[in-house]
Structure 1
C-alpha cells in the first residue's frame, strides 16, 4: 500500500503538461529560459518549442523588462539598438537591427508594447513600418494620401491589441494644475494606472497624478518631488538636463545631460548611466519579452556564455 501511495504522489511530476506550466512562470528576463534549457534535454525541448515561446511572451506581455532603447542612426541608414541590461540579461547590440535602402529617409516615431513604429520615405513613396524586433515581423502601412511628410509634421504611437479585451476611448479637455507652462511636461501612466505627468524645472522633477475623490471629482495632486541635484553629479552652472523618454511598463525615466544619459526608476530612485550617442539622437525605450535565442537563433552563443559565466 505504501508503494502505491508513493507511485500515486509521484504521478503529477511526470505529467507532460506540468513542466511547461512551471517554465511559463519563470521571470521574463532574457536569461531565464536559456538557464532552464541547460538543465536537461527535456527542459530544452520545452523551452525552445515555438508554441511555448509564444505562450511565454503572451503570459508576460503586461510586465516586460526594459531591454534597452532604439536610436535613429542617420549616418548608417539604420535604427540601432542600445542595450541597458547587465549580463546575463544583456541582449547583444546587433540582435535588433532595421536596415534601410541607401537614399531612404526614415524617422523613428515610437516604441511601445514590444513594437517599433517608423516613417519611411524612398523614391517619393511614403509608408509606415510596424516592426517587432523579437520576431522580425514587419508590416507596412500606406501613408495617408492627403498628407505630405515634406510639409507636415508627423508623429504617432503604436499600440498592440489587448487580446479579447474591448477598450473604448473618448476625448475630453482636462484642466491642468497651476504649473509653469514653460517647464518640460511629459504625460505618463501614474502608479494607480490613471493619468499622470512629469513636470520638470531646472533640476527638479514633480510627479502629478489625477485621482478621483469620494465626490467623484478628479483633481490633480502632487505626489512626489525629486531633487535631481542630489542624485546626479551635476554642476548647476554648466549642466542642463531634460527628459528624453519614459518607459511606462518599468516606471523609468530617461534623463539627458550634455555628456550622459541616465535611467531613473521613479519609485526606488535607482539610477543607472548608459552611453550617449550623437547629441541629436532621440532615445526610445524598448520593453519586451525576448526569448528567441533559446532555440538557436542569433546571438545564442553570447547569451549562453553570459548565463554560464
Structure 2
C-alpha cells in the first residue's frame, strides 16, 4: 500500500507513518470512504479498518463460513459524523458451489456480523479490481464477467440485486460506477478514445433504463497531442473514483490523470510512478479538527 498526497490541493499532508500497519504483512486495500480505509490481511485472514487521521485501527474477524474471494466497502453509520462515529463493513462473496452471491454486513456498534443475504448468480463472478460506489444509501459494484453486470446492495432494505449495465461494458476495466444527478447511479465508460457518461433513470413505464448523457473526447479532455491517438486501447482504464468531490482517476499510457466530472477539468500527475497506479487507487479524504497541526489531505 502506497500513500501519495495530491500536491497543490492541500496545505499539509498526512505523515506516511499514519498508514503504517505495524510489522510487514500481506495486505490489500478493499475500499476507502468517510475517512476510513478497509484493508484485507491475507496472512492473518481478517480485516483492518483504519483511520489515518487518528491512527485508530480496528481488527474485524471474517464472518463464519465465509468464502475467501470477495470485495468490500466501508462507510459511516447513517446519522453519525466524525472520526469517532460508528461504521459498517459490507462484504460480497461468490459461492461457486451453489452459484450464489453472498452479502454480509458488519456493525461496529454491536461488533457483530448480520445474517447472510444471498441472491442467485447468473454466471461466474470475477471480483478483481471491483470498487464500490455509494449513491444515497445504496452500494454498487460493477463486475468484470463479460455481461455488463452491476451488483446493487440497498443498505436500508438489505436487498441484493443484480442489474444490467449500459451497452459497451466489458472486461477491460473501462468503466466506473459514479453518482449521477438526482441521487441516481451513473456509469463513466471509456469507448473509442471518448469518455461516456451514462445515467440510470426510470422511464414513463416505470422501467429502469440507461441513458447516455454526455460524450467527451479524451484527447481534448486530457489535452493529449493528436499523434498519441495510436495508443492501444488496453492502455486506457479507470483507476478510482472519489465520491465526495465527484472525481475520477484515469490511467492513460503510463500517466495518471484526475478529472472533475461536473466541470470536466483534468489534471495530469507528473512524477508518479506508473507501475504503482496501473491497477487501481483508492482516493482518501479526511478532515482535521480546527486548530489541529494538519489540514485535510486527499
Q: What interval of TM-score do these two structures reach, taking the shorter chain for normalisation?
A: 0.5 to 0.7
Give 2:248's match in structure 1, choosing from 253, 257, 260: 253
Answer whether contact 2:238 2:249 (CA < 8 A) is retained. Answer: yes
- Please, which moves more after superposition, 127-136 or 193-202? 193-202
The answer for the alignment partner of 1:10 in structure 2 is none
What does residue 157 of structure 1 align with? 73
Per residue, is there more strand in 1 or in 2?
2
Question: Equivalents in 2 of 1:177, 1:163: separation in Å?
Answer: 33
How far apart in 1 are the matches of 2:201 and 2:60?
A: 37
Map of 1:74-153 to 2, 5 A cutoff?
Answer: 80-86=2-8, 89-94=11-16, 96-102=18-24, 104-122=25-43, 125-147=44-66, 152-153=68-69
Structure 1 residue 137: Cα displacement: 1.6
* Bigger Cα Rg: 1
Whether the 8 Å contact between 2:201 and 2:210 is mirrored in structure 1 is yes
Helix, strand or coil for the counterpart of 2:284? strand
Q: Which has the higher helix share?
A: 1
**Residue from 138, 141, 156 that aligns with 1:167:** 156
Aligned length: 213
Preserved CA contact (<8 Å) 1:251 1:265: yes
- Deviation at residue 253 of structure 1 after TM alignment: 0.6
Gapped runs of 5+ residues in structure 1? 1-71, 73-79, 304-309
| Structure number with higher relative contact order (C-alpha < 8 Å, ≥ 6 residues apart) | 1
Say whether the 8 Å CA contact 2:246–2:261 is kept in structure 1: yes
- Match of 1:174, SS? strand
Give the whole-Å Cα distance in 1 for the aligned partners of 2:171 and 2:71.
Answer: 22
Give the TM-score taking structure 1 as reference length: 0.61
Please say if residues 81 and 93 of structure 1, whose CA atoms lie closer than 8 Å, have aligned partners that are also in contact.
no
Aligned residue for 1:285, secondary structure, equals coil
Paired residue for 2:231, among 215, 235, 238? 238
Residues 231 and 253 in structure 2, CA contact (< 8 A), matched pair in contact too: no
The SS at the match of 1:89 is coil
Structure 2 residue runs without a partner (length 5+): 81-136, 138-154
Alignment RMSD = 2.7
